[in-house]
Amino acid sequence: MLEQTTHWLDIAGVALDGLLLVRVLQLRLYKVYAFVTLACVLGLFFDAVGLWLGNESPEYMRVFIYSRFLYALIYPLAAWDVFEQIADQIGRVRRMAMSRLISALVLTSILSLIVLGSGEGESSGTASATDLVAIILWAGTSTASLAFLFTMGRILRAQHLELPNNTFVWMRYFQLSFLAEAVSCFLSLTMSLIKNPTNVAVINISLISYEIAITVWCLLRLRMIQSNVPSAPQQA
């Protein structure tokens, strides 16, 4: 029963990923949010591959691991791109916040190289060094990108800058999405400690349902960008 529920939720998730991408293309948001659009494309692609190969199959697990290296680049770019519609108003503030994000990514990369060079994962017998590096990058980029979005949100609230609808929607969507990624990363490290398959299935169903909920919310809130939106005064 739980396996069937998970399967149908996976199908619903892929369908919603497709609808979100269609919505972005329909509203022509790709003209402003290029990296956000790319993140939507990749999300649909990898979820569809997981549905095709089976999310528990060894083949998909390899695809999943190597996709983390790609997302290590995409996540920060998508987080940066969230504020592209108001780039002129917040240019200096965004660059300052991004410098902290880059510093966190550099530290994560150094840690990953240390793990890869030491080869500790090979001797553990539970995961390869490549798997550990992928998980470290996954955790580091997710949490650093999440911190960037929260920092930007706090600064913009302090400046009393009214955000355009789509900027607000993408900011909230990626905050919730990166939070789910960070939780998923933690669970991937501890899932082997959970002996009851029912508990594992319930956790997976909860995560998929959460992702479906935030995708539906994003779909319903996105709007066409109005060319006559008044620009806020320079704050940064």
**pLDDT, tens digit, 9 for 90 and up, residues 21-32:** 999 999 999 999
Torsion of CA 13, 188, 49, 167, to 10 degrees: 50
Provide the pLDDT confidence category of residue 200 given band limits of 50, 70 and 90: confident
Instruction: Give the C-alpha separation, 174 to 180, whole Å.
Output: 9
Contacts 24+ apart (CB under 8 A), 123-129: 126/192
Q: 146-191, pLDDT tens digit by residue? A: 999 999 999 999 998 889 999 999 999 999 999 999 998 888 777 6
Which candidate, 182, 10, 155, 24, places its Cα nearest to that of 86? Answer: 155
pLDDT greater than 80 at residue 208: yes
Residue 148 CA, distance from chain mean position: 13
What residues does each domain of the chain span? 2-221
Q: What is the pLDDT of residue 179?
A: 95
Q: Can you point out the beta strands (E) in 4-73?
A: none
As a whole number of angstroms, the distance between CA 194 and CA 13 comes to: 25
What are the start-end ranges of the E strands in 85-194?
Answer: none
Whether 181 and 148 have beta carbons less than 8 Å apart is answered as no
